[in-house]
Amino acid sequence: MDNNLISAFTRDTKMGIVECVDVKKTYNQGKLRVEALRGVTLSVDRGAFVAIAGPSGSGKTTLLNIIGGLDAADSGTVIVDEHPLDKMNQSQLASLRLHKVGFVFQAYNLIPVLSAVENVEFVMLLQGVPYDQRRERAIAILDDVGLEAKYHRRPAELSGGEQQRVAVARAIVADPSIVLADEPTANLDSKTGKGLLELMRDMNEKKKVTFVFSTHDNMVMDYARRLVLIRDGLVVEERIKET
């Protein structure tokens, strides 16, 4: 990483796993130009459990996608695990997503023809991890998320909560630096959503996995140790929960 970029953030404070400075993003919707992000500055510490909250259209999912390298900012600086995203080509961004970032999507995004254990293995398959090693790790993480009896069930044979647990297992099995979860409880009932949040918080505390959520779910906000409120493409408030 460029030393000038590092010094800009570390002169007075330790660099977080995510650093966003004056991030802007505009989309064209027909003849309209929509300012999704209008200058977001945000730092996320390693090991954090953070919720980015706001109403639909506030820009929270756009911000998460930019942090994950799924979309590019129009301007501003985005650094993830000391990698400046605007300095990286598509191949480098794909490698960053594969090795450094875990994703949990609202719609689960599991591969329908693969079993639970095969879905969890998929990231490691792309990484070139040998079969025996990735199968052992996938089974161990499915045990951790309470699916020890359902290794070989396909997504259609699992409940929504179980599918989301598979998605969480897939996101963390390769030990990413950060997990980005976009509305992870949106399709779950409150009991299942609570169980999933407790699972992720436990992994955050025990495995020191950094979690960043986008959400408008009050329960997710309650579980977060830090809450970042975003409205009309700007961060309008931050709250840190006392421990």
Domain of 75, CATH number, reads 3.40.50.300
Rg (CA), the chain: 18
Say if CB 55 and CB 234 are below 8 A apart.
no
Domains in the chain, number: 1
In tens, the pLDDT along 22-38 reads: 999 999 888 888 899 99
Cα distances from 36 to residues 16, 103, 180, 199, 223, in angstroms, run 24, 21, 19, 31, 26
Its domain, for residue 52, covers 3-240
Residue 3 has pLDDT above 80, yes or no: no
pLDDT at 243: 59
**Burial profile 15-45: b = 16 or more Cβ within 10 angstroms, e = fewer:** bbbbbbbebebeeeeeeeeeebbeebebbbe
Residue 165 burial by Cβ neighbours in a 10 Å radius (0-12, 13-18, 19+): buried
Q: How many CB atoms lie within 10 A of CB 140?
A: 13
Q: What is the pTM of this model?
A: 0.88
In tens, the pLDDT along 156-202 reads: 999 988 998 899 899 989 889 999 999 888 888 888 888 889 988 98
Q: How many CB atoms lie within 10 A of CB 70?
A: 16
Average pLDDT over residues 217-233: 94
pLDDT at 7: 41
Q: Where are the beta strands (DSSP E) in 105-221?
A: 178-182, 210-215
Distance CA 155, CA 117 (A): 11
Distance CA 192, CA 42 (A): 30
Residue partners of 40: CB distance under 8 A and separation at least 6: 20, 22, 23, 24, 59, 63, 76, 230, 233, 234, 235
Q: How many CB atoms lie within 10 A of CB 183?
A: 19
The CA-based angle 177-179-184, given to 5 degrees, is 175
